[in-house]
Amino acid sequence: MAKRALTSFVCSQCGNDSPKWLGKCPVCGEWNTYVEEVIATKSSARQLPGLTGYETQKIHPVLLQQIDTGEEIRMDLKDGELNRVLGGGLVPGSMVLIGGEPGIGKSTLVLQTVLKLKNYKTLYVSGEESARQLKLRAERIGTEYEKLYILCETNLEQIFTHINTLKPDLLIVDSVQTIYTERVESSPGSITQVRESAAALLKFAKETGTPTLLIGHINKEGSIAGPKVLEHIVDTVLQFEGDRHYMYRILRNIKNRFGSTSELGIYEMRQNGLREVDNPSELLLTRNHEGLSGVAIAAAIEGIRPFLIETQALVSTAAYGTPQRSATGFDIRRMNMLLAVLEKRAGFKLIQKDVFLNIAGGLRVNDPAMDLSVISAILSSSLDVAIEWEICMSGEVGLSGEIRPVNRIEQRILEAEKLGFKKILIPQNNLKNKSNSNIKIVQVKKVEEAFRELFG
C-alpha cells in the first residue's frame, strides 16, 4: 500500500492547523479558510546550512537587573519617513515586514533606501524580478552603489549558503512568498512554506544581529499573505498603502516591538522613485477652490503629525428611488451616521439626495476629528454656499449633534496658523489654556452653532 503523504488542514487567515477540515476556524472565527497542506518534512532534505563564521551568541538566563539597556544603536536608513515610522531607525537583529498590494511601490521603496546606505553591505534577494530588472529600476532611481549585492534565488538553502559567504550587514527578501525551503514539501507561497522560511530567516536575524527586511504581498482581505502567522513572527509590520491612481503612498506601522505604532510616513511616487513628503499639508491643500461649495478643510492628525486636508462633498438630487452614497478615504458607515445627524439638525432630506464624499489626495484618514469637516462639506454642497477658504475645523460629531473634544488640539491649531488660516472651529472646552495666537479660535458646542458660524 502506498504511503499517504502526511497532510494537515491549515487556516489561511491565522495559520491554525487541524487534522480535519473545518468550516469555521475556532481560533480566528473566519469561515471557509482551511486548506489542505503537505506538512511532512522530507527525510531526504538537506538541513539548512549552519551559520558559519558568524559570532552567534549563546543564550543563558540572566537576571533582569543585570540586563544592560544602554543606548540602543539603530541603523539610520537615510530616509526620514522610514526612520520615523520604524521608531528611529532599524534595530539590529530585528525583522521587519513591509506589506502592500502588488504594484504599490514596496520594491521601489526598499531598493531606493538600500541604494542610499553607503556604509552597509546589503544583500537583496529577489524572487520576483531578474537582476536586469532591478538594475533598470536602480538606474531609474538614479543612485549607483557598489556595496549592494543582488541575488535572484528562491531556494532558502541556497540563500543561506550565499549569506554565509557574503556576510551582509542587511538582508532584504523580496518577496517572502516566493521563497521556499526543501525541508517542507508544500509548494512555494503556501502557509507552511512562508512560515518555515520566515522562521529560519528570523533565527538568522536574531543569532547574527543582522537586520532583515521582508517584503510581503497582501491578499484581498488586506492581511499579509493570508497567513497572519507572519505578523506574529516578525518584530515590526509596516503597511504600504495608497490608491494606485494617485501619487501619494502612506507607510503605516501596524506592529512595532521597538516603538509606537501611531507613526505615519508619506511619500509621493515620482518618475525617479519615491519622494519623502515632509510637509503633507502643502500638498493636500490645493487652494484652487475659492468660492466653490462643498469643500471644507479639516485640521487632522495621523500618528503624531498634524496636517490640513480638504474634504469634498457633492450632493445632488437623487434620480432613482434609492439615493446613492459613496465615500472615498472615509468610512461610509460613519458618513451615513453623519447624514442622519444632518437630517435631524439641519433639515437635510436624506432620502432625496445622492451624496458623494472624497478626501483629497487619495488618503484614508481615520481621525474622528474629520467629522465636522465632512458634515460641513456636505451641507455646503447641499446649500450651494461656499465655506470661506480661510476657515478650517476640527471636531468629532456625536449622535445628538454635539461636538466632542478631540486630542492634541493645540497642535492642530498651530498647524492651521502656520498655514495662514484665519479662523478655526474647535469643540467647546477642548482648549484648556488659550495662548494668544493670530488665528481666531471659535469654540462650538453643537453642529447648529458651527453651521451658523459657517453659513450665517
CB of 247 to ligand TYD, least distance (A): 8
Cell numbers at residue 186, please?
508544500
Three-class DSSP category at 353: strand
Q: Which does 230 bind (CB under 5 to 8 A by kind): ligand TYD, Mg ion, none?
A: none
User: Helix or strand or coil: residue 86?
Assistant: helix
Residue type, 393: M
Query: Please, which of residues 242-301 interact with Mg ion by CB under 5 A?
Result: none
CB 171 within 8 A of CB 123: yes
Q: Which of 25, 96, 104, 370 binds ligand TYD (CB under 6 A)?
A: 104
Rounded (10°) angle between helices 191-208 and 156-166:
10
Task: Pick what 103 binds: ligand TYD, Mg ion, none; C-beta below 5 to 8 Å, kind-dependent.
Answer: ligand TYD
Per-residue binding letters, 129-148, with ligand TYD (x by CB under 6 A): --------x--xx-------
Q: What are the residues facing 315 on neighbouring strands?
A: 355
For residue 113, give the 3-state DSSP assignment.
Answer: helix
Question: Residue 435: which of ligand TYD, Mg ion, none does it interact with, CB under 5 to 8 A by kind?
Answer: none
Of 107, 181, 256, 394, which one interacts with Mg ion (CB under 5 A)? 107
Among 105, 127, 280, 427, indicate the residue that binds ligand TYD (CB under 6 A).
105
**Contact window for ligand TYD (CB under 6 A) among 25-33, 181-189, 265-273, 288-296:** 265-273
CB of 125 to Mg ion, least distance (A): 12
Question: Binding residue for ligand TYD (CB under 6 A) from 29, 102, 222, 420?
Answer: 102
Out of 43, 69, 271, 435, which residue is the one contacting ligand TYD (CB under 6 A)? Answer: 271
Of 89, 47, 95, residue with least CA distance to 72: 89
Q: Which is nearer to ligand TYD, 257 or 270 (CB)?
A: 270
C-beta neighbour count of 352 within 10 angstroms:
11
232 binds, among Mg ion, ligand TYD, none (CB under 5 to 8 A by kind): none
Q: Which of 310, 314, 309, 308 is nearest to 294 (CA)?
A: 314
- Closest among 323, 364, 368, 366 to 343, alpha carbons compared: 323
* Position 22, amino acid: L
126 vs 193 by CB, closer to ligand TYD = 126
| Residue from 28, 166, 269, 314 binding ligand TYD (CB under 6 A) | 269
Q: Cα separations (Å) of 360 from 305, 309, 352, 354, 391?
A: 17, 7, 26, 19, 17
CB of 234 or CB of 315, closer to Mg ion = 234
**Contacts to Mg ion from residues 308-327, by CB under 5 A:** none
Task: Work out how close the CB of 115 gets to ligand TYD at its nearest, in angstroms, rounded to a whole number.
Answer: 11
Q: Which does 226 bind (CB under 5 to 8 A by kind): ligand TYD, Mg ion, none?
A: none
What is the rounded distance in angstroms from the CA atom of residue 350 to the CA atom of residue 7?
Answer: 55
Task: Tell the smallest beta-carbon distance from residue 132 to ligand TYD (Å).
Answer: 14
Point out which span in 101-109, 146-154, 249-257, 439-447 binds Mg ion (CB under 5 A): 101-109
DSSP string across 354-404: EEEEEEGGG-----GGGHHHHHHHHHHHHHT-PPPTTEEE--EE-TTSBEE
Note if the bond before 107 is cis, omega within 30 degrees: no
For binding to ligand TYD (CB under 6 A), which residues are involved?
Answer: 100, 102-108, 137, 140-141, 269-273
